[in-house]
Structure 1
Amino acid sequence: MTSSSSPIGAHVPVAGGLATGGLKYAAEIGAETIQVFVANPRGWALPEGKPAEDEKLRARADVPVYIHAPYLVNFGSPSEETLAKSIATVRHSLVRGRAIGARGVVVHTGSAVTQTYDAAMTQVHEHVLPLLEEIPEDGPDLLLEPMSGQNNMLCAKVQDLGPFFERLEHHPKLGVCFDTCHAFSAGHDLTAPGGVKETVDALIATVGEGRLKLVHANDSKDACASAKDRHENIGAGQIGERPFADLLHHPAVAGIPFIIETPGRAPEPHAKDITTLKRLRDA
């Protein structure tokens, strides 16, 4: 891997300890970067960290670390309770991210659910902008992850990120996590000739250079524009291998970490996906 190459890694389980379990699994599958949960991804509990485990992660500067915020987070929810819990949960992830030396906290862009788009985006401005202001200079970036387009989502196509960046005043701690399965399911045909370049160019044109901070590399079980978020192993789905090679070699993606969130609990399928991406990267 050269200095301009993208490190390839995975979302890792943390049984046995955030660092102990996560780094052990990373070594087993050949991951060069990792993503972790620091709270139950399907709950609102905000657990404290373990200083010894935190220090182990901070000490591994050779392994870039990212946090994925819990799935329940929704800045666009009409429920005051859900909105309040969402802000508290992301604040917790950002604080924990600084403790473990994480480079970014990934958060789904959310859904308006039963309210209007404008009402939901007003909430984004009123509640997320102050959250960004709390992040210290050495704290992790907040990385917005567009969704697959289902259920009144606020952001699916990369162009939908424009209003988010406008409402959040292009804050310097704001970045983007680009998920290949989400983009494909939202209607970006990554398999078409020039499809990857067109999509990435549109992303950069929308949010500006330097805002793309992380790639979630996932194949898709479903067809383009399906609005279904079902990940598949690299090369085994509707996207196939070639678009991942195109993405890895796009100039705007140079050096940006790739994280797989593909099926399989045992090391074998994840190790295979990482090996595939490394082969495509190094070809």
Structure 2
Amino acid sequence: MTSRNAIGAHVSVAGGLATGGLRYAADVGAEMAQVFVTNPRTWALNDGDPAEDAKLAASGLPVFAHAPYLVNFGSPTPATLDSSVAVIRHTLRRGAQIGALGVVVHTGSAVSQSRDDAMRQIHEHLLPLVEEIPEGGPDLLLEPMAGQGQMLCATVQDLGPYLEALEHHPKVGVCLDTCHAFAAGHDLAAPGGVAEMLDALHVTAPGRLKLIHANDSKDVCGSKKDRHENIGAGHIGAEPFAEIMRHPVTAGVPLCIETPGKADKDRENIALLKKLREPATGG
């Protein structure tokens, strides 16, 4: 596997998951793509178009699927828990059909119950879904959140108990969102901040980083606010993204932007990250 970081975006699939998605990826210069395989804001399950799925799988473009936002395996509400099981099972199946390398899922919130009870639910309900993943199927990628409310996982250290609840299953990986990490208290803008976070990730979840959501932050470090900004236009700044791509923990890990704006902004953000990817030169 190459150590070079592929850089891409969460792509628009207007016109078809593959037809529209591949067109959009080419238009913005994306070297990888993230997609929704069903409506991200409802519990509805979309079986998709087998021809589009097959075309995307055969495209050669590295693809990741993002699970709907409503999923929460820490919820004390039985209906939410049951729906989360159904949606993740469906998304993993669709991910396999499109050749996805991973399915990203938010790590969720305990809401009104204890963290211990929430973690028991993750063990009882999410681990069996991971065990169902077929040979060659996508990894399940845990995305820590910004730390608001009763979120179960925000800092990279929080991944430890989560991975333990999933028995450190080999099909479980990590999707690190830079805006979330910054909001949770990892000061990526400070000297040494990027290395400190990635070194800690290597200790907590060695070899599990599979995807980076590359987003700047509209809010300050530790704000616990999940508000994405364009690369270099927020409180993280541009240079930390170059540091991220130079760190050995991120070797070969794709970067996917989820930044504000449409195609023109995606094109600008991807071009900037590609520039930052270039080796540093001495003065």
Q: State the TM-score, normalizing by the size of structure 2.
A: 0.97
- What is the CA distance between 1:3 and its match in structure 2? 3.0
| Structure 1 residue 207, shift from structure 2 partner | 1.2
Name the structure 1 match of 2:111.
113
Amino acid paired to 1:279: K
Matches within 5 A, 1:16-55: 16-55=15-54
1:60 Cα shift?
1.3
Matches within 5 A, 1:105-184: 105-184=103-182
**Structure 1 residue identity aligned to 2:254:** P
Asked if 1:279 is matched to 2:271, the reply is: no
Identity %: 67
Structure 1 segments of 4 or more deviating over 6 A?
none
**What's the Cα RMSD here?**
0.9
The residue that corresponds to 2:14 in the other structure is 15
Does 1:230 pair with 2:227? Answer: yes
Q: Which residue, out of 244, 249, 252, partners 1:252?
A: 249
Figure out how many residues of one structure are paired with residues of the other and give that number: 279
Q: Distance in 1 between matches of 2:110 and 2:125?
A: 15
Residue 265 (structure 2) pairs with residue 269 (structure 1): yes
- Cα distance in 2 for partners of 1:214, 1:64 equals 11
Q: Does 1:195 align with 2:193?
A: yes
Deviation of the 1:252 alpha carbon = 1.1
1: CA distance, partners of 2:130 / 2:3: 29
CA apart distance, 1:4:
1.7
Match of 2:126, as an amino acid? V
Cα distance in structure 1, aligned partners of 2:23 and 2:193: 37
| Cα deviation, residue 151, structure 1 | 1.3
* Structure 1 unaligned blocks of 5 or more: none
Give the TM-score normalised by structure 1.
Answer: 0.97
1:264 alignment partner AA: G
Flag structure 2 segments of 5+ consecutive residues without an equivalent: none
| 1:212-233 C-alpha deviation (Å, 9 max, x unpaired) | 0000000000000000000000
Deviations 1:183-226 (A, max 9, x none): 00000000111100000010110012x20000000000000000
1:214 corresponds to: 211
SS in 1 for 2:18: helix
